[in-house]
Structure 1
Amino acid sequence: MPIEFTHVPGKTHPADPTVPFFYDFAETATKLSLIEDIGFQKIVVDDPAGLLTNMDIAARALDRTCSLEAVLTHWAGVIEPTVAARQLAALDAKSGGRLSLRILSEPLNDDDAEARPVGHTIVWQRIDEYLVLLKRLWSNDRPFDHEGAFYSVRGGYVPRKGPQGAGMTIRMGGQSGTALRVAGRHADVFELAPGSRGEIRRLMERVRSAAAEHGRAGKLRFALPVRIRSEDNASCQKALEIAGPPAQIALSLLAYAALGIQEFMIVGIDRPREIAMAGREVIALLRNSLTRREADVPQPRAFASRAIPRAS
């Protein structure tokens, strides 16, 4: 089972720990090359400045890498779906299909609150309609009209679609029944919440059940956020923080991979030395362990066919 690794940037400026990872892009470009070369497949773009800044950062990150996928954090309703569909398709095309969309829930703004009560269910209903529109705009071959609970579209059409079209990877999360129903319909990657192996297993079962209602149970991949702490801070560990030497960290991750998790979202390694350690030691050790484990699984025994003599 192939395991992918995603880098989740933190805040690393030596003079100001609140400064985000992408603050100095000249420095960031060097880190991006290291992240790509060391064994990560993806990087999360989630700047506190919001969606438009995320799009700009993702474009610059994709320009400076060859294979790294940008996981763009996005909130439904920040911009109209027709505008978002065009901008995302253009970014996808420019990167050669190395873009995925990470949809987070976000409360409705004040203007919307005056028109209807704000609630958890409404937020997810809007996300559902938003994703339906994005996928339709990325796949339709002629303009269409749409009148829904949250969006009104007239002549919706994106002439220059990205190479992935409506197949762009959608990433979602959540734990409520409402969130899981929407994720079951749309998500290609489900980002799990940190927890014990039992808690994670139960959440995975709930997500698969929600996806099965749309015939998508087998199409989901699961990603687990994991914070790696330096060995000297091992005594300060919190839920699903892993500390210790690389071999111990790899062994801990191996137990979660056995649940069916296919991607680890690594948090807490932002300095070049930490990134290099994670790649050369933790990632390499985990992949080697998985390769050995798969090689040890007994394979079906092959029998040579024998000719059956004809009856005389």
Structure 2
Amino acid sequence: MNSKVLMVFAGLLLVGAVVVGYVGVSLSKPAKPVASSETPAAVIPAEVDKLQRTPVVIVTHDLPALAVLTAKDLRLEYLQTAPAGSFAKIDAVVGQRVWVAVPAGSILSAAVTEPGGPLARTIRPDERAMAIAVDEVIGGGGFVLPGDYVDVMLFVADQSNGTRDLSAQVVLPGVRVLTYGEQIAVANDGQAHQTADGKDDKQKEHKVPRTAVLAVPAESVARLMLASQAGSLRLAVRSKDEQLYEKDQEGRYLHASLNPAGSEPISLDQLLGRRAPAKPQATRREIAPSAVSGVVVYRGSKVTHEAP
């Protein structure tokens, strides 16, 4: 075969290969979607999404403590989940006073519009919050938590009479733990507050609790005060199965007060059950009968005196 014929034949094969390749690429491309006469799904407008969220009141600028709220200080924002204690309407808080400084952008809640700190919100009107010193031994090995019920026990070593008299007794039964270290129980607004000052978690883990605050019945405050000075205290944790918290909330739980005198002051001898020493009885003096002047005259069963 002539070389020229071979070159022409090779050229035809190359052109054919290019044509076949183009056809193959064209067939491998996905078909374009056919335009449909149906309207595309409508995008959910922002107003519909707003209706599915919960409004909360936000502070627009920094507010100092004791400031009275106005409509210019507040705005509404819509969140998927509203925090506990937040407000849903601006009119509900206009005219109220904030008791602490509130920074701009904060969610306004009942924690700043109602007087009293988080500890005061955890007790009832017939209770008082009292703190006692604790360590890992006194506080049940450090496993006592806010919300637990404990018996306050007192150990006394009395050496006043020259002999060492040891005694132990339950000072207050079934009192609620409000705080233990930097942990505080949930307040009435449903929020758990912390007493920490912003330290990191590693420093908190190694910090040993030094105080525990108990919800003491008002009539037993003096009793616990005397007990803390009379000897060493221990906290005995009550069982969860007793359901003291549920009974307390339903008003079916009464503190077994050991001080029937109410709020009257009690002495240390009364606290320890000591008997007061008997007072010496005064000696009776016999009074001699006074001499009667005159003559005694007996007439039967009658006795008369006649002047001399």
Please indicate the TM-score interval, normalised by the length of the shorter structure: under 0.3
Which is higher, the Rg of structure 1 or of structure 2?
Answer: 2
Greater strand proportion: 2
Higher helix share: 1
With structure 1 as the length reference, what TM-score do the two structures score?
Answer: 0.19
